[in-house]
Structure 1
Amino acid sequence: MKETLHIRDLRIALLARAVSQAGDAMTLTALSLLVATSGRPLDLTALLVAFAVPPVLLSGYAGRLVDHADSRAVLVGSGVVQVLGSVGLLGPTTLPWQAVCILLVQAGQSVGAPAWGALLPHIVGEDRVGRAAGLQQSLASLAWMTGPALGGLIYGLVGFRGVVLVDTVTFVLVIVAAMVIRTRRRPDGRTDETADAHRAGMGRVTARRSHARASFSRDSLARASVPRDSLVRRLIRPGGVRREGGIGRGGATGLVGAARDGAEPAARSGLRLVAADRVVLALIVALGVFVVALEGANVVESFLVVDVLHASPAGYGLVGLAMGVGIALGSLAAARVGTTRRRLQVVSGSAALMGLTIGLAGLAPRFWVVPGLFLLAGVGNGLINTLNYTILIGRAPESARGRVLATVMGLSRGCSVLALVLGGLGGQLLGPRATFVVGGALAVAVAPLVLRAVRHAPEAPRRPSAASVGQENVATSGAQPTIG
């Protein structure tokens, strides 16, 4: 872990992303407080929907942009869009104007998040992506814990626009970070050579990572969209990857074959890539159920803790703190899980753990039981988030990672909107306790679905030989890969 932090570009990216996420949490808190003073709770629902809509609608186009443009240009451009939206929030506080500004901010996020995620393997090397993802998720958890507290404090001191101004500054910092990071992801899958001397942060690059980067370039050539009758395709195609969605020879996945088809519309290509891989498809379906179940329970969390269990506001804050600490611990622990099969098994177990703890929280006889349960739930959440990202990066071909990450982000946000609706209905019809129990049961039901995907994963990762270049995806066969 310490060796990973020696990488200069990673330190810059992690810090900038964490500061920006804290700013986002501050602004969301400030918007909630502003709406609370208006006495119109439906306004907050409308704003939350505005947060979720752009990633859902723009996922295909955002992913295509990430995969076909220089990473620095994409990150700077998306950051500028977010700055413009954030500056707009300094204007009128009417609902339509705020919704438009939020849509603009989230449109930038729809592009920026998958761009950071696709750049991460180039910054750290394929074999360190798991550790880097764990660090990023831990910092994100800390950001989302401290952000609301800072947002409430600044709102009380200087008002809503003071909070938004701080958030705007964090977007500017992200733009600066994107400009000073030396590593760049090129449209052809290459890493900018100016970063090579700094990749390890110790003045040299190991032979193993140099081989991985060289393999990236060759592998991206193997996946390039070239005329079907060309000499390159005839040389690449013998013994190539199966396209029916299972594991290809040498551990390549259905995602590799889908990325070669290359003629689908931009808005659908990410979905086609995800559907081509049985492991990824199982993960996405499980993730959707998981998000609906647990975020639906989150809608009634305050009612359970304060109204049913009679906890104080400080007690409610303690529950959130326990969840955040658990997420940070689980994210760091995920770095120790080494193979795709093992990651799937841990994701399955973590889903069961989260489901059981959330369900038991709904049955808790006293408040003092709940923080401990939420700590365990947070550990499971951190493991799931980090390992899901690592598996996606590992199974997606380098040239299609932007599309895959953008699609998953869009689907997840769509499920979040559904969770808001179902959680509200559940709280109204069933009450907080029953809503938690039902959500926990749905989360437990996800575990077998993920476990079934283990049989489609390779037994263990292995490095490709020179003879196998063009037949398998290095990220899948030899690597152990929110920055997104």
Structure 2
Amino acid sequence: MSFTTVDAVLPTSRWRDVYLTAGARAVSACGDYLAAISLALALQSAGAGGIAVSGVMLAAALPLVLLAPLTGRLADRMDSRTLLVGAGGAQAGCCVVLAYAERVDVILVFVALLACGLAVTQPTLAALLPEMVRRVDLPRASALNQTAALLGMLLAPGLAGLLVGQFGVRVPLLIDAASYLALVAAGLLLRTRRGGRRTTASTRPPGPAPVTPAAVAGIRPAAGWRLRRDPLLWTMVVAVAGTIAGVGAVNVIEVFYVRETLHASTTMFGLVSTAWILGMLIGAGLLARTARRARDDGALAQGVLVLLGLACLAVALGAVVPAAGWLLPLWLIGGVANGGLNVFSNLVLTNRVPPAERGRAFAAQGAANQGAGMFGFLVGGVLLARFAPRPLVAVTGLAGLAVVLAVTPIVLRAARRERRAGPVTGPEGAALATSVPAA
């Protein structure tokens, strides 16, 4: 089942808004990743253990999980401009304070406050993108936005290694504070807006209301959209989150594996991190066209599983390398799979969620992934206190593969059931498309 409302309103896609959003994401993503890597390097260089590094990562992830029910509703009900300007400004202020903080507890508090802002801006931007473009252009627009964010992240590891080595952690954090102003500028300049009074006026076409998953299931409209009422989408979200829970500990282990086990420099660590991001950049661009040509949402969900498995396999193979340089091609392959599965999964969600509920949907998806990542961060920090990094890298990759194998039959059954049910009939008897149109 799909929701095709924007094409009925937009004769052409609003590419100006897409490019503005992409530019804002590139700048803010560079600042975010720069700050994250700088903090990890600073803690590791100061002799902090895995618990300290995982504590910072947990502080950055916890608000995105706990606040998802609230921030998803805010993204759907409040004016997107208000949210972007307000959250971006608050994040810039918090980052300035964080740059001058010295106590670990203060650092953790302000990292968490920055994440509170991210919990607002992420679903807001994600739900805005489908309103900017016609449905046939959505894979391209999604890949473009992901590419822009990844380009920003590509610059961050090298900058982090250089700036931390020369100036310490303060300068990178001040640069991160300035990057949040890009979100404020985007909020002021974007013509596309949703939430508040203008959600229905700007996005709903004239005529009968669109068919929703609740309506198809015979549920009264008042009951609203629920993720668990869509078996295919629900199983895909669970599959991705479960895999992240299995393999996510590598994000904590990686810095110790590269720096201490493989005896690499901070520059090489930056290059290894860059390789994964570069792969994501390539994967988003290459696989966007494949996403557009997919048979239906079931095929997209199956593609997500294949790409998840490939990414986990790359991580598992990384445990046997003799030197950090060997990680570069493996991380590049894993990143390609990661970038592709992001495009696939976001397209499935957009296809299957009513426009007015997409803020909640993207917040729920983000909360599932962040919650799974938090589990990985915690496990990684605990295990590093007892075991060497190399076997832990192998365990994380194999754990992710095990989750993919376990959930694959469930996703396949959901896809088969939907195909047997056939197309959904709209209010005037016309069949609603269940596939993504080809270019």
TM-score range, shorter chain: 0.7 to 0.9
Question: What is aligned with 2:136?
Answer: 127
Question: What is aligned with 2:63?
Answer: 54
Question: What is aligned with 2:280?
Answer: 327
- Map 1:1-400 onto structure 2 (within 5 A): 7-36=15-44, 39-41=47-49, 42-187=51-196, 190=199, 215=205, 218-219=208-209, 240-242=215-217, 260-262=222-224, 273-309=226-262, 311=264, 313-336=266-289, 337-338=291-292, 339-364=296-321, 369-400=326-357
Quick one: structure 1 residues 87 and 311, their matched pair in 2 at CA, closer, same or farther if it must change by over 3 Å? closer
Question: What is aligned with 1:265?
Answer: none
- Asked whether the 8 Å contact 2:42–2:164 carries over to 1, the reply is no
Displacement of 1:259 in angstroms is 6.9
CA–CA distance in structure 2, aligned partners of residues 76 and 141 of structure 1: 22
Q: Is residue 420 from structure 1 mapped to residue 373 from structure 2 by the alignment? A: no
- The C-alpha deviation readout for 1:234-257, integer Å capped at 9, x for no partner, is xxx9xx4115xxxxxxxxxxxxx5
- Asked whether the 8 Å contact 2:53–2:252 carries over to 1, the reply is no
Displacement of 1:43 in angstroms is 4.3
CA–CA distance in structure 2, aligned partners of residues 276 and 421 of structure 1: 31
Question: What is aligned with 1:199?
Answer: none
CA–CA distance in structure 2, aligned partners of residues 154 and 287 of structure 1: 34
- Asked whether the 8 Å contact 2:232–2:298 carries over to 1, the reply is no
Quick one: structure 1 residues 119 and 375, their matched pair in 2 at CA, closer, same or farther if it must change by over 3 Å? same
Paired residue total: 418
Structure 2, unpaired ranges of 5+: 1-11
Displacement of 1:478 in angstroms is 6.7
* Matched residue type, 1:291: I
- Partner secondary structure for residue 300 of structure 1: helix
* Matched residue type, 1:13: T
- Asked whether the 8 Å contact 1:297–1:436 carries over to 2, the reply is yes
CA–CA distance in structure 1, aligned partners of residues 105 and 256 of structure 2: 29
Displacement of 1:369 in angstroms is 4.0
Structure 1, unpaired ranges of 5+: 194-212, 224-236, 244-256, 263-271
The share of aligned pairs that are identical, in percent, is: 28
CA–CA distance in structure 2, aligned partners of residues 160 and 360 of structure 1: 32
CA–CA distance in structure 2, aligned partners of residues 309 and 91 of structure 1: 33
- Asked whether the 8 Å contact 1:396–1:404 carries over to 2, the reply is yes
- Asked whether the 8 Å contact 1:130–1:480 carries over to 2, the reply is no
Quick one: structure 1 residues 360 and 98, their matched pair in 2 at CA, closer, same or farther if it must change by over 3 Å? closer
- Answer with 352-361 or 427-436: which moved more: 427-436
- Answer with 440-449 or 312-321: which moved more: 312-321
Quick one: structure 1 residues 214 and 103, their matched pair in 2 at CA, closer, same or farther if it must change by over 3 Å? closer
* Matched residue type, 1:408: Q
* Matched residue type, 1:10: V
Displacement of 1:51 in angstroms is 0.8
Displacement of 1:383 in angstroms is 1.3
- Partner secondary structure for residue 428 of structure 2: helix
Quick one: structure 1 residues 408 and 95, their matched pair in 2 at CA, closer, same or farther if it must change by over 3 Å? same
Displacement of 1:65 in angstroms is 1.1
- Asked whether the 8 Å contact 1:348–1:446 carries over to 2, the reply is no
- Asked whether the 8 Å contact 2:208–2:427 carries over to 1, the reply is no
Q: CA RMSD in A?
A: 3.4
- The C-alpha deviation readout for 1:366-398, integer Å capped at 9, x for no partner, is 655432222211111111222111111211111
Question: What is aligned with 1:210?
Answer: none
- Partner secondary structure for residue 335 of structure 1: helix
CA–CA distance in structure 2, aligned partners of residues 123 and 153 of structure 1: 38
Displacement of 1:411 in angstroms is 2.0
Match of 1:404 among 361, 376, 384: 361
Quick one: structure 1 residues 329 and 44, their matched pair in 2 at CA, closer, same or farther if it must change by over 3 Å? same
- The C-alpha deviation readout for 1:162-221, integer Å capped at 9, x for no partner, is 33332222112211111111111144774776xxxxxxxxxxxxxxxxxxx55488546x
- Asked whether the 8 Å contact 2:233–2:349 carries over to 1, the reply is yes
Displacement of 1:302 in angstroms is 3.8
Displacement of 1:146 in angstroms is 1.2
CA–CA distance in structure 2, aligned partners of residues 121 and 127 of structure 1: 10
CA–CA distance in structure 2, aligned partners of residues 278 and 306 of structure 1: 43
Question: What is aligned with 1:254?
Answer: none
- With the length of structure 1 as denominator, give the TM-score of the two structures: 0.76
Q: Is residue 467 from structure 1 mapped to residue 428 from structure 2 by the alignment? A: yes
